[in-house]
Amino acid sequence: EATYLLERLMDTAALEMNRDPAALRKQNFIPAFDGVEQEGYVTQVALQYDSGDYHGVLDRALEMVGYEDFRREQEEARKEGKLLGIGFSTYIEACGIAPSAVVGALGARAGLYESAQVRVQPTGRVSVFTGSHSHGQGHETTFAQVVADKFGIPLEDVEIVHGDSDSVAFGMGTYGSRSLAVGGSAIVKSIDKVLEKGAKIAAHKLEAAVEDLEFGEGKWTVKGSDKSISFGDVSLTAYVPHDYPANLEPGMDFSSFYDPANFTYPFGAHVAIVEIDRDTGK
């Protein structure tokens, strides 16, 4: 509803000032920024957009519909009495809901973090317990792809467990485009803990320093050599610690909470061309 009001205001202003409605929109857009070299844009309610190129996305949409050619076609159509129009809609959406401090200030009585437990089995298979429950979104695939990619293991070696409050970690649900941004980030935090511990085990087995190792394609390798140990072998060693680093606990099971520092702010543009038949209304 808010977007509709803003778009109608822009169209009305363009009509009254005899301006091109697309050009008027771009004139009022926030300049492009990446949130790194250019600081994120701070709104009037103190939230900070992480990145945005609003001119670029509208320009791309106009290019896709052939905007300049359409305007010429529209002029010819009007001469023939045809009703041919074009509409624009651009948006920024607050997703990755939400920083607990922000929603707390707005009156929410719960934190909007997510948590995840990543348990590596002695076989190298991985079980992930997440509070981000799937009801059709496909978390079982998406989360498994993230885990398989980070560990360099087959997708079928990853089990995603969700939806059972007796066994899964704390979670605040699936809504607000938050599952991967928040729930996925909690999983990645636990994955990083696994890899950190795995590197210590690998360094011991390879008789190398942790900083001399690199991880990729499912194995730790001593830089500049062919000495390596697989993720599966390290996993087994964690549970059969016969040759094991001193003062390091056995096992490979980590939990993490992730409370986002900010929303994510995806953006986009839609363009619709519509012709109405004067006689039938279709």
Return the percentage of the chain with pLDDT > 70, whole number: 100
Same domain, 211 and 87: no
Same domain, 167 and 35: no
Q: Is the pLDDT of residue 169 over 80?
A: no
Same domain, 142 and 82: no
Q: Is the pLDDT of residue 99 over 80?
A: yes
Same domain, 135 and 243: yes
C-beta of residue 53 within 8 angstroms of C-beta of residue 265? no
Q: In this structure, what CATH number is given to the domain that contains residue 160?
A: 3.30.365.10
Q: Give residue 246's domain range.
A: 114-258
Establish if 86 belongs to a structural domain. yes
Q: What is the mean pLDDT of residues 55-74?
A: 98
Same domain, 152 and 234: yes
Q: What is the mean pLDDT of residues 88-96?
A: 93
Same domain, 246 and 269: no
Establish if 187 belongs to a structural domain. yes
Res. 168 pLDDT band, cuts 50 70 90: confident
Same domain, 222 and 87: no
In the prediction, which pLDDT does 106 show?
84
Establish if 75 belongs to a structural domain. yes
Establish if 134 belongs to a structural domain. yes
Same domain, 158 and 202: yes
- The tally of domains found in the chain comes to 2
Establish if 98 belongs to a structural domain. no
Establish if 198 belongs to a structural domain. yes
Q: Is the pLDDT of residue 135 over 90?
A: no
Q: What is the mean pLDDT of residues 43-67?
A: 93
